[in-house]
Structure 1
């Protein structure tokens, strides 16, 4: 198989992985925000909003990979930079909302009805994000593509984020530790802050770090 055909096949797979990431985050975000509000668990609700923000970021990645399929790219276009800026702004708003929500919940002594659904969603997310991370890393390394590898590391961050949700959900459900849900939401806020900062940094940096590897 020629190098061009191999690259085309790998880019097709990268494109499909990007679409799977978007659709999974849409489903995860819908379930998490619904049950987060229903069960009054701020950590799960914040996790769901984070998933929706990841969808915006994912649209930029899909667009980027689609361009890679047509020709070599060396910089982000206007759509990708706009997606990153919107993503960064949304993450910062999420951080603010989670901090305010956590403070209020701690002050009034609010507790979730249950965190079982959060634990279940976290387990599914851990399995899915691990698969997506390994698959994206494999494709990115074969293509020697810095943008795809960077996207894989964003997926790895979601993988770690799922462990925060799982930990807070299990600790509360088993031991009924006060405020652990609020603390879990603050852990999610910390990761969201990092992701927001990284999104703005990427938007300011036009170069992708990938020149002739994505043709």
Structure 2
């Protein structure tokens, strides 16, 4: 029993770290994305802020299952999921419209150097979180924590998209690659939004489990 308590504390700590990291990443990414006129980096930062709301629901979930492993998703978590889902849909709409506009006008970022740096850091941090969450979830035999670990992989995928688009632009100056990368981010944001509403309306842990 004491071992389970220790593992749940680790799971809660990982949830809190995810929240704090996303706040910092969001602030830095949106600022640098705006300054460098990189829509992909700016959109990546906005996504990080949305993940903060999702993270609050995850942290609450860990406390709930620690007290009662067989309990069902409660109103706080469902509300957090719906708010997150709505925010993702709004983000998708904004990213798609702005991407199309940038392609139409031929807009190019000033630089995507910081997109490369931030995406590489994000890939490393998020991958460590995935591995750690899977380890803790497996030891606790907790489907919700394992599902959260799998969903964290989406952040890795989005970081890879940012790295690819930023890297290709920085190396070759491809005119539309920043906007194309942004559309890739919008695709994953749309899937995350759908998943949030599916989870809010049921007791499923995660579409990606």
State TM-score, norm by structure 2: 0.96
Q: Equivalents in 2 of 1:7, 1:207: separation in Å? A: 23
Matched, 1:52 2:46: no
Shift of 1:19: 0.4
Higher relative contact order (CA closer than 8 Å, sequence separation 6+): 1
Distance (Å, rounded) in 2 between the aligned partners of 1:118 and 1:106:
19
Q: 1:64 aligns with which of 61, 64, 71?
A: 61
Work out which of the residue numbers 143, 150, 164 in structure 2 matches 1:153: 150
Unaligned runs of 5+ in 1: 210-215
Number of paired residues?
206
- 1:15 aligns with 12
Q: Structure 2 CA distance, aligned partners of 1:90 and 1:207?
A: 21
Q: Deviations over 1:36-83 (max 9, x none)?
A: 111000000110011000000000000111122323342111100000
Give matches, 1:13-162, under 5 Å: 13-162=10-159
On the 8 A contact 1:56/1:83 being kept in 2, the answer is: yes
Deviations 1:14-55 (A, max 9, x none): 000000000000000000100111100000011001100000
Shift of 1:160: 1.1
d(CA) in 1 for partners of 2:56 and 2:166? 30
Query: What per-residue deviation string (whole Å, max 9, x for no partner) do you get for residues 103-129 of structure 1?
Result: 110111110000000100001000000
**What is the TM-score of this pair, normalised by structure 1?**
0.93
Task: Identify unmatched segments of 5+ residues in structure 2.
Answer: none
1:157 and 1:50 map into 2 onto residues whose CA distance is: 11
Structural RMSD (CA): 1.1
Deviation at 1:206, TM superposition (A): 2.9
